[in-house]
Structure 1
Amino acid sequence: MADEPTVLHPGDPEVQPLARAIASPTAGEILQALAQEPLTASALAHRLEMPITTAAYHLERLVDVGVIEVSGTRWSSKGREQKVYRLADRVVIVTPARDDLRSLLRKYVSLGLALGGAVLLAGLWEGRQAFAEISPAGRDSGAPVGAPMGLPGIAVPDRVAVYVLAGGLVVLLALIAYEALSRRRRST
């Protein structure tokens, strides 16, 4: 058996020829016969009681898509060289196109981290602005001498947080809508 299966999705260029080659009932009979033992085109035609041209046509199409392969040659009783066909050592899986969970999580977690970073930067910027308004003596210029000082600029001001979060949510919703539309177009 092959080490790694070939995973195909409906939009892949290899899927259409593969589907056409194996869709025929004759191709199915050929594959069943070759699953039992390797055969030449003439032996296959004789076993399945079909014209050799039909067998040769289907064999060539199945070889082209990689489902069967030429395993060697034999000499006929008339002295002609004949190809011997067998099933290819290949596993093919056709599966619906789907983003794997890891890539989706990576995409949205990185977006969330970027949004959180933007909120943090906005908070630091506002904190720096508030800290600059404090006088060099360490007190607010308009406050009485004994008044307690708060922690300037540690918390993110509400207006900045709202704007950054709202903008981030709009971008996130736009990305989700775009992805949903893309999937819908691919499935039709």
Structure 2
Amino acid sequence: MSLLPSTDDVTAEQEGDIRVLGVDEDETANVFEALSSETARRILTAIYDDPAPPSELATRLDLSLQNVSYHLDNLEEAGVVRVADTRYSEKGKEMNVYAPADDPVVVFVGTTERKTGLLDLLKRLVGATGLLFLVSAFLFVFQAFGQPGGAGDTPTILELLSFPGLEFLLGGLFVLGLVVLWWARNR
């Protein structure tokens, strides 16, 4: 069955906050239960590759529509997938297009205190890494194009690879790695 509008505009990116779940939480049990079936995991993998309505997933995975719908309902209830869009079939029937949930899920073993610390650390690492890349990019642009000189002074690839931005980025990533190791060891 082909769809009139394309599902190409539905993405499989997860843009929300990371959901950190302790292994002993009720919500985690729902996620584990929903993912306990190989069929559910195949469906989840398929929508990460290409969000789609149940009928398309059934065809793609060679499963019955009822089986796909059952697992999608369980995955949606567990918060692992979401309805990202609706489409209409050639016959005019409205169909939900499923995609991964906006919030990626991380399951851990430990106490609530550790959960909060892990989430905070992950958020800080994302911010710190982004800042490192921005400063490094600025230094790269300055090194490559900001230096005075004639038109013939274009830097070579070898000169660009030895720019201060790369050294700054590598040093910053090394320091972040040390911080993560220290944090993990002291927990």
Q: What TM-score comes out, normalization by structure 2 length?
A: 0.51
The list of structure 1 runs, each at least 4 consecutive aligned residues, that deviate by more than 4 angstroms after superposition, is: none
Alpha-carbon distance, 1:17 to partner: 1.0
Partner of 2:122: none
Q: 1:3 to 1:70 in 2, by over 3 A?
A: closer
Q: Which has the higher contact order (CA 8 A, sep 6+)?
A: 2
Query: How far apart are 1:100 and its partner, in Å?
Result: 4.4
Question: What's the % identity of the aligned pairs?
Answer: 35
1:4 corresponds to which of 10, 14, 17: 17
Secondary structure at 1:20 match in 2? helix
Q: Give the letter for the 1:35 counterpart.
A: Y
The residue correspondences of 1:73-92 to structure 2 (distance < 5 A) are 73-92=86-105
What residue number does 1:104 align with?
none
Aligned residues: 102
* CA-to-aligned-CA distance 1:104-154 (integer Å, 9 cap, x gap): xxxxxxxxxxxxxxxxxxxxxxxxxxxxxxxxxxxxxxxxxxxxxxxxxxx
| 2:81 corresponds to | 68
**Which deviations, in whole Å up to 9, do the C-alpha atoms of 1:28-53 show, x marking residues without a partner?**
11011101111000000000001000
Match of 1:163 in 2: none
Structure 2 counterpart SS, 1:39: coil
- Once residues 98 and 46 of structure 2 are traced to their aligned partners in structure 1, the CA distance between those partners, rounded to angstroms, is 10
Partner-residue secondary structure (3-state), 2:96 = strand
RMSD: 1.9
Could you tell me how far 1:99 is from its partner in structure 2? 6.2
Residue from 47, 50, 58 that aligns with 2:60: 47
Using the alignment, how far apart are the partners of 1:83 and 1:99 within structure 2? 36
Q: Give the counterpart of 2:29 among 10, 16, 24.
A: 16
Q: Measured at CA, do residues 30 and 100 of structure 1 come closer, stay the same or move farther in structure 2, by a change above 3 Å?
A: same
Q: Normalising by the residue count of structure 1, what TM-score does the alignment of the two structures yield?
A: 0.51
Unpaired stretches in structure 1, ≥5 consecutive residues: 102-188
Q: Secondary structure at the match of 1:90?
A: coil
- Highest Rg: 1 or 2? 1
Secondary structure at 2:26's aligned position in 1? Answer: coil
- CA deviation string 1:39-76 (max 9, x = no partner): 00000000000100000000011111111100111111
Q: Secondary structure at the match of 2:111?
A: coil
Q: Structure 1 residues 77 and 8, CA, compared in 2 at 3 Å: closer, same or farther?
A: same
Give the structure 2 partner of residue 114 of structure 1.
Answer: none
- Structure 2, unaligned stretches of length 5 or more? 1-13, 115-187
